[in-house]
Amino acid sequence: MADKHSHDHGHHHSANKKALFISFLLIASFMVLEVIGGFVTNSLALLSDAGHMLSDTVALGMSLLAFKLGEKASDQEKTYGYKRFEILAAFLNGIALIAISFYILWESIQRFIDPPEVASTGMLIIAAIGLLVNILVAWILMKGDTSENLNLRSAFLHVLGDLLGSIGAIIAALLIMFAGWNYADPIASAIVAVLVLVSGIRVTKDSFHVLMEGTPSNINLEEVKSTIVEIDGVQSIHDVHIWNITSDFPSFTCHIVVRQTCDRDQLLQLIGKKLQEQFDLTHTTIQMECDTSEIKHQEKNCN
């Protein structure tokens, strides 16, 4: 079972890294085109989307670096290696999303007060290309493990925000083109900024939870405790800790009070099997302690 878990983890890791690398190349290439197009057409919607794409490029680059560093072997100074760097990358990505969203909101307010002329045809063409690129990148990233891997999920949310940004820019370009409504440009930017803000807060909150060694959201602590206590030979459990070293790498430690007569090796194997099968906990440390009341009772009888 442990070998299968390691194999699956390695397979996901390889798929995630490949998805990130291809996405990084596509996003970085289009970002340059969108920056040029934003200045040429004088479109804030395009420039805000390009700003978000810049954060995407940084996010994807950091995510790639995180995966690469995560491959480094553990040593005496870092016994878990560099696996947690990907959570730091996700946290910084979340902060970047929040900062960019506030900047876009500020710029859109300025433009709403005094809307400039926008070259809508060029804006429409570039936004349409951006939409296709973002759909392709989102599809590539979905091939990875976006449900379990927080680092990859943060990159995926960046791209989703971009995709929405491209849709907003297309709608704004059409409104300017056919209705002459220049307010569409800052409004589209503001809507994207709010969506980006929501994504940023979510990623920051999730990664902060991991950094604070919070209990993984998919594991019920009380359920784990009751499962162990129900095993024959276990009398009580305390000092229970469940946390994530990084995405899809939960760790578990506890102290259990056991009957003096029980077979500890057999009990340890049984607990380990239940934790793995029911909660997918494979990295566990369990300390066993004797029931002191039993020892005192035996001493009293001897006297």
Q: Inform me whether the pLDDT recorded for 302 exceeds 60.
A: no
C-alpha distances (whole Å) from 207 to each of 19, 100, 154, 200, 212 are 21, 18, 9, 11, 9
Contact status, residue 68 vs residue 102, Cβ threshold 8 Å? no
**Residue-level pLDDT at 10:** 47
Please state whether the predicted TM-score (pTM) of the whole model is above 0.85.
Answer: no
The candidate with the shortest Cα–Cα distance to 32, out of 63, 65, 62, 56, is 56
Split at pLDDT 50, 70, 90, the class of 6 is very low
- Residue 157, C-beta contacts closer than 8 angstroms, at least 6 positions apart: 97, 199, 202, 203
Kindly report, residue by residue over 26-51, the tens digit of the pLDDT. Answer: 888 888 887 888 888 887 777 777 77
Q: Is the dihedral of CA 172, 176, 178, 180 positive or negative?
A: positive
- Residues of the chain with pLDDT > 90: what percent? 18
Split at pLDDT 50, 70, 90, the class of 277 is very high
Q: Which residues of 20-43 are buried (b: 16+ CB within 10 A; e: fewer)?
A: bbbbbebbbebbebbbebbeebeb
Q: Inform me whether the pLDDT recorded for 2 exceeds 80.
A: no
Cα-Cα end-to-end distance for the chain: 49
Alpha-carbon span 222 to 227, nearest angstrom: 9
**Residue-level pLDDT at 230:** 92
Kindly report, residue by residue over 105-159, the tens digit of the pLDDT. Answer: 888 888 888 777 777 888 888 889 888 988 998 888 877 665 666 667 777 877 7
